[in-house]
Structure 1
Amino acid sequence: MSSAAPVPGRFTFVLHSHLPWLAHHGRWPVGEEWLYQSWAASYLPVAEVLRTLAAEGRTDLLSLGITPVLAAQLDDPHCLSGMHHWLGNWQLRADEAAASGNVALGRHEHRLAAHALADFEQRWRHGGSPVWRELIDGGAIELLGGPLAHPFQPLLDPRLREYQLREGLADAQHRWGHTPAGIWAPECGFTPGMETGYAAAGVTHFMVDGPALRGDTTLGRPVWDSDVVAFGRDLHVSYRVWSPKSGYPGQGAYRDFHHYDHATGLKPSRVTGKNVAGPDKAPYDPELAAAAVRRDVADFVATVRQRLIDEHDRTGRPALVVAAFDTELFGHWWHEGPQWLEQVLRELPKAGITVGTLEGARADGYVGEPVELADSSWGSGKDWRVWAGDQVQDLVTLNAEVVQLALDTLDKLPRGGERDRAADQLLREAVLTVSSDWAFMVSKDSAAGYARDRAHQHAHAVREIAAALGTGSVAKARELAAGWCLADGLFPALDARRLRRCRDEHTSTVPTGHTSAVPS
């Protein structure tokens, strides 16, 4: 097949890989099972797609965000052991389906499980870091970093915001030997002033949603008076794949995410139709799904090509088109997503489309005039309502109280001296309390009870340790910290002394006055 004539401009895929800390916090229906499903269905096959294309000499395939809290789980010995067990169990469930009469489903799932298990045993048993580092070192991807445990940064105390970002970038350096220049800002959350913190931490570019740039995403834009560039998600292109109401994964031939065979936990059906009840859905047909993948690859490539042409004609210059998604869409939510991704990355160059990374776009001058970026996110309404609306005001209040208590307690400890494991665990639990996931899950009514329980559990840990430290009961504080660390021992390099050193640089108050994005 001959390649089409080149079109001006550039296309960039951005994938955001993230799950909250799930290890030791439940198994089913919410907990470690969520991690293992996403690992098997998304992280393994997406890494394999990238590795396959890299082996063909392809570089700058996409910009891949991996949050530190997810990276910690993909390297964690407990999670690695649990994942290995889960993959073996997947094979057994596939065999059970075949033995009970659903031979086609059993064979399909067995092939997938056997392949995933072999891949895991060959490449992942020492953690995810070697897998991603191979792709980073080879220039196949640009790594995007982020704050430690995915806080909604606009609502976070500036000191803890700075600390989480700097520690998150350092964590990436420890794992992969690379300090990311670009980040995926959690939830694409922004408030003016954050660009100054980004510049101080060495961040040169970050992601926002398209409406934050008033819909003109054809170039990155320096933010306010800084040199830090915001790149915007092109909704016209991104929504072809996934949107609040439509997108390829909802088409009838694809595997249905929501309908389970309860005996085996497998998913036996295709979507069939939007108004078809679970028991009435047609059986999944891999060949039918593969034909749908080819159709939707062609549609997406044509959409990107036309978008580049139209934006070039409108602006008179080569345009940048950025399509951004959660990595978990590819495989976990959309079973055929990795197949689609590999074919799209092959077909885009054939259609005359240059594919690159955000870092490459910035270096090659896809940057326009500065923008006075306002309060924004990629959540509902493109404002802060998901993380600061009426439904989650209790969590907003809880976060503010916990952060204030943690900072006040740490500020009162003696400066200098040896590392204090109780102080470290206090800070670790505060970081987990303010994860953006808990408010998101409550606002979206997705395992809301689990989310609230998690936030309050970590808050309780902060209060317990802070109370012991506040009364001078150092031995008790360390005993409590050791107990909490059994479940929440992530980020072993976390050192509370680094937070205390910057206490003179910031006030210890939750920022106010940025309520324009919050619905009344």
Structure 2
Amino acid sequence: MTDEGTFCLVLHSHLPWLPHHGAWPVGEEWLYQACAHSYLPVVDLVRRLAERGHRDVLTLGVTPVLAAQLDDPYALRGLHDWLGNWALRAQYAAGRWRGADPLLREVASAEYRAATGAIEEFETRWRHGFSPVLRELVDGGAIELLGGPATHPFQPLLREPVRRFALRAGLDDTRLRTGHTPAGIWAPECGYAPGMEHGYAAAGVRRFLVDGPALHGDTHAARPVGDSGVLCFGRDLEVTYRVWSPKAGYPGDPAYRDFHTFDHPTGLKPSRVTGKQVPPESKRPYEPELAAGAVARHAADFVATVLARLRALRERHGAPGLVVAAYDTELFGHWWHEGPAWLAAVLDALPGAGVRVTTLRGAIEAGHVGAPVELPASSWGSGKDWRVWDGEQVSDLVSAGAALQDELLALPAGPGDVRDPARDQLVREALLALSSDWAFMVTKDSAADYARRRAKIHGDRAGELAGLLRSGQHERARRRAAELRATDGPFGRLDARELWS
């Protein structure tokens, strides 16, 4: 078979900490939708490929804050209820659309089949949480698992001790859940500041992802960062943007299901995109056969795009090249209903076209490592700089975050031989307040009020606990910490002693 080069698909699974923090259109509904429509079908796709003997299918990042939610009994009960409600809504839609367009009746039937299938999948494989499912795929070599800092902070804005602690806590949490400490991470928002690679090396991180412009588009191989020995992989935007870009991509095709158009009595999405300028009330009903044709067409187009890119890289560098296409997992199924079917078609077609499909680890083993590089400050956000997380719109969040870190680090170290639940809760609240999600949602005006409220809730809680500890009210601080744990649920592995050690 022709060696056209290597393709790595990298998926990043992340949602902010949501249990006990509201329902649709923000809060827990996000978690349940993403799990039902993305995580269950994407993981099922990988499992089926593994059963057929495939290895190194893709590289999957799961942030610790998401893993904690998908293992949390509260969230699992809520998801099970949500899946049951989805089936009920589909049954209601069947009655509501009786006598209507046959295409609408087919939507109701398809939704019911999908809901009952998801319930069976959950009850069979997911009822004890995501980690057992994930561990089986990692143990079997089907995926390479990426980790990251505990609560998805924008790392360049963290004080060095806080950054070090957040990364170590996240890696340790992943090891406890899956039995594996990731050797690679998808850095939150691909945020990078010069020198961070040395912190990665000290934590045992051997590879991480940056956006293509940080490498000036030269993404044909992994690159050692300075003299650290840590490798960076760059997203190939020429290929990645074919699927999803700030302005275009396959999901906008008129045949695909429209994410934004709801039938509000049922909560279902019965329309296809139809046209970008078509108002919701004029959208045409969804047609599965039409969508299936678009999936086949777009899968073929993507494979051709990857081949063209790899051949251009071979001509330029004189050797087989590497393409890294990286996306949020939630694109496949949640935002883009047909995304899992498209993924299956692409992963099936690429090897037949002579392309090696593997993980970031597999790409290194295949020799796709280039010369050392010095990286600039960067991210994958607007402008490929830090403006989304450090811009004028969020200057108040940035200032509050900096003050909170200073207050945290100014506390004297507690007894080193005994864990203090008040300090553990304080660190937990501080890291949740520092999540990059809040600035992103404000800058992009996506539930901005909710994001500001969440940042303030966690920041105020951290400040309250810090004040009690600072004034010597340790017993009162422990009681308050217990109240917060009881109302907001458990989260991951955070041993605060390590911050001051």
Using the size of structure 2 for normalisation, the TM-score is: 0.98
SS of 1:180 mapped into structure 2: coil
Alignment-derived partner of residue 499 in structure 2: 499
Tell me the residue number matched to 2:34.
38
Q: Deviations over 1:173-219 (max 9, x none)?
A: 10111111010000000001100000001111000000000100001
User: 1-side partners of 2:361 and 2:186: how far apart?
Assistant: 12
Q: Which residue identity does 2:60 align to in structure 1? A: L
How much has 1:231 moved relative to structure 2? Answer: 0.3
Question: Is the Cα–Cα contact under 8 Å of residues 222 and 369 in structure 1 kept in the other structure?
Answer: yes
Give the counterpart of 1:105 among 91, 99, 107.
107
| Counterpart-to-counterpart distance in 1, 2:270 and 2:17 | 30
1:336 equivalent to 2:338? Answer yes
C-alpha displacement at 1:492, in angstroms?
A: 4.8
Partner of 1:466: 466
Structure 1's 234 and 415: CA in aligned 2 closer, same or farther, altered over 3 A?
Answer: same
Q: How many Å apart are 1:286 and its aligned residue?
A: 1.1
The answer for the alignment partner of 1:396 in structure 2 is: 398
Taking the aligned partners of 2:435 and 2:348, their CA distance within structure 1 comes to 36
Q: Is the 8 A contact 2:69 2:491 kept in 1?
A: no
Matches within 5 A, 1:40-55: 40-55=36-51
Residue 104 of structure 1: how far off its partner (Å): 2.0
Q: Is the 8 A contact 1:464 1:480 kept in 2?
A: no
Name the CA shift for 1:231/1:269 in 2 (closer, same or farther; >3 Å).
Answer: same
Deviates more, 1:169-178 or 1:360-369: 360-369
Q: Note if contact 2:12-2:60 (Cα within 8 Å) is conserved in structure 1.
A: yes
In 2, the alpha carbon distance for the partners of 1:225 and 1:488 equals 43
> 1:308-336, CA deviations, whole angstroms, 9 ceiling, x for partnerless residues?
11110011111000000000000000000
Q: Deviations over 1:284-323 (max 9, x none)?
A: 1111111110110000011101111111001111100000
How far off is 1:93 after superposition? 0.3
* Matched letter for residue 484 of structure 2: W
Q: CA deviation at 1:413?
A: 4.0
Query: Do the aligned residues in 1 keep the contact of 2:173 with 2:492 (CA within 8 Å)?
Result: no
Match in the other structure for 1:517: none
**Aligned equivalent of 2:83:** 87
Distance 2:413 2:305 in 1: 58
Query: How many Å separate the matches in 2 of 1:393 and 1:463?
Result: 19
Secondary structure of 2:466's counterpart equals helix
Return the alpha-carbon distance in structure 2 between the equivalents of residues 487 and 311 of structure 1: 54
Does the alignment pair 1:148 with 2:150? Answer: yes
**Is the aligned partner of 1:20 residue 2:16?**
yes
| Cα distance between partner residues in 2 of 1:60 and 1:399 | 39
Structure-1 separation of matches of 2:70 and 2:118: 15
SS in 2 for 1:14: strand
Per mean C-alpha deviation after superposition, the further-off stretch among 153-162 and 477-486 is: 477-486
Identical-pair percentage: 62
1:425 aligned residue: 425
Instruction: Report the 3-state secondary structure (helix = DSSP H, G, I; strand = E; otherwise coil) of the residue aligned with 2:39.
Output: helix
3-state secondary structure, aligned to 1:121: helix
Distance (whole Å) between structure 1 residues aligned to residue 310 and residue 358 of structure 2: 14
Task: Name the CA distance, whole Å, in 1 between partners of 2:40 and 2:259.
Answer: 18
> Which stretch shifts more, 336-345 or 99-108?
99-108
Do the aligned partners of 1:7 and 1:305 also contact (CA within 8 Å) in 2?
no
| Corresponding residue SS for 2:11 | strand
- Aligned-pair CA distance for 1:138: 0.8
Q: CA deviation at 1:242?
A: 0.2
What's the CA shift for 1:35?
0.2
Q: Distance in 2 between matches of 1:268 and 1:402?
A: 46
Q: For the residues of structure 1 that align with 2:343 and 2:417, how far apart are their CA atoms?
A: 51
Letter in 1 for 2:47: R
Distance in 2 (alpha carbons) for counterparts of 1:96 and 1:123: 27
Summarize deviations over 1:417-453 as a string: whole Å, max 9, x none. Answer: 4211001000000010000000000000000000000
**How many residues are treated as equivalent by the alignment?**
495
Displacement of 1:467 = 1.2
SS of the residue 1:13 aligns to:
strand
Instruction: Look up the equivalent residue of 1:468 and give its one-letter code.
Output: L
- Matching residue of 2:226: 224
- The Cα shift of 1:460 comes to 0.6
Query: In structure 2, which of residues 251, 263, 277 is the aligned counterpart of residue 249 of structure 1?
Result: 251
Q: Is the 8 A contact 2:295 2:338 kept in 1?
A: yes
More displaced 10-residue stretch of structure 1: 187-196 or 356-365: 356-365
Query: What stretches of structure 2 of length at least 5 have no aligned partner?
Result: 98-103
My pick for the range that moved more, 373-382 or 355-364, is 355-364
The 5 A counterparts of 1:445-464 are: 445-464=445-464
CA distance in 2, matches of 1:322, 1:417: 45
Whether the 8 Å CA contact 1:210–1:217 is kept in 2: the answer is: yes
Question: Is 2:71–2:131's contact at 8 Å kept on the other side of the alignment?
Answer: yes
Separation in structure 2 between the aligned mates of residue 191 and residue 380 of structure 1, nearest angstrom: 16
Alignment of 1:129-148 (within 5 A): 129-148=131-150
1:477-516 CA deviation, whole Å, 9 max, x = no partner?
Answer: 1111111112444335311111110xxxxxxxxxxxxxxx
Q: What's the secondary structure of 1:370's corresponding residue?
A: coil
Check the 8 A contact 1:23/1:487 in 2, yes or no. Answer: no
| Counterpart position of 1:127 | 129
Distance 1:472 1:154 in 2: 33
For the aligned residue pairs, the C-alpha RMSD in angstroms reads 1.0
Query: What is the CA-CA distance between 1:106 and the residue it aligns to?
Result: 1.2
Task: State the Cα distance separating 1:117 from its structure 2 match.
Answer: 0.6
CA distance in 2, matches of 1:364, 1:353: 13
Normalised TM-score (structure 1): 0.94
* Alpha-carbon distance in 2 for matches of 1:153, 1:488: 25
Q: Secondary structure at the match of 1:355?
A: strand
| Structure 1 position 277 matched with structure 2 position 279 | yes
1:485 matched residue in structure 2 = 485
Indicate which of 188, 191, 205 corresponds to 1:189: 191
Paired position in structure 1 for 2:74? 78
**Counterparts in 2 of 1:414 and 1:176: CA distance versus 1, 3 Å:** closer
Quickly say closer, same or farther: Cα 1:182–1:492, change in 2 above 3 A: closer
Q: Secondary structure at the match of 1:354?
A: strand
- 1:358-409 per-position Cα deviation (integer Å, ceiling 9, x unaligned): 0111223211111110100000000000000000000000111111112212
Give the distance between the partners of 1:86 and 1:135, measured in 2 at CA: 26
In the alignment, the residues of structure 2 paired with residue 487 and residue 330 of structure 1 have an alpha-carbon distance, to the nearest angstrom, of: 32
**Preserved contact between residue 4 and residue 307 of structure 2 (Cα < 8 Å):** no
Contact 2:68–2:492 (CA<8 Å) still a contact in 1? no
Cα distance in 2 for residues equivalent to 1:500 and 1:420:
12
